[in-house]
Amino acid sequence: MLNLITPQYYWPNITSDITEFVKHCSFRQLNKKRKQKRFGLLQQVPPTSTPFECISVDTVGGFNYYNSTKEFLHIVIDYATRHVWAFPSKNENSETYINILKQIFQIQVPVKLLTDRNAAFTSSRFKKFLRNYNVKHLLTTAHHPQTNGKVERVNQSLVTRLTCKVNSTSTKVPWTKLLESVTNEYNLTPHSITKYPPAYLLLGTLPYYSPIG
């Protein structure tokens, strides 16, 4: 929150005020403690420095009780820029993942794709799809997956932001309706490592902020 506000706004004691607000935010504390289904475990990959050099696909389930019949949140991450794309879905089959990646490939086809060993990713249909685009497929090591810290942090951040928004609304808004704003907030917030918003690193443009008042 601090990184999102301070580039555009200022008042005396802004840092301490925001820190204190977040610390005592009841919605934040409630949702940080909420149990989610286990986040995906992905193998470590070599460092990347170019957009679309490597992207990953991961899935978080358990959203069907958030005023929607769609249970799954599919997250695509660009490793170099930390940019994310998020897609709600009722299932996690090959067709779903292919349709998601087709949307990403319209922007640019990646060199490598990292996934776990879900049957949807190891199916002949999915493999053929990647071959057609000449994308190298990286899979987790069987029975010995390593936790990918970058993926887990993104998952946790999006899930926390999303559940906070769901629980803070006075009406029962489906989580799928709030997902776009949550994803945009993430992509427009300067990253703690790169110091730049992921959207800027991917697209080369800075976000526009509407003035207050």
Q: Which helix (H) or strand (E) holds 131?
A: helix 124-132
What string of DSSP letters covers 132-170? HTTPEEEEPPTT-PPP-HHHHHHHHHHHHHHHHHHHH-S
* Residue-level pLDDT at 149: 61
- What is the domain range of residue 182? 54-203
Q: Give Cβ neighbours of residue 204 (< 8 Å, ≥ 6 apart).
A: none
- 30 within some domain: no
Give me the chain's average pLDDT, please.
78
Which DSSP helix (H) or strand (E) runs through 87?
strand 84-89
172 burial class (0-12, 13-18, 19+ CB within 10 angstroms)?
exposed
CATH number where 79 lies: 3.30.420.10
Scan for tokens 């899930």, then name that residue: 159
In this predicted model, what pLDDT tens digit does every residue of 194-213 receive, in sequence order?
888 999 999 887 656 555 54
Share of residues in the chain with pLDDT > 70 (%): 68
The domain total for the chain is: 1
Q: Is residue 28 part of a domain?
A: no
Residue 10 lies in a domain: no
pLDDT mean over 183-192: 90
pLDDT in tens, 74-115: 999 999 999 999 999 999 999 999 999 999 999 999 999 999
Mean pLDDT over 146-171 rounds to 76
Q: Tell me: the pLDDT tens digits for 7-57?
A: 555 556 556 655 555 554 544 444 444 444 444 444 455 567 899 999 999
The Cα 212–Cα 116 span in angstroms is 44
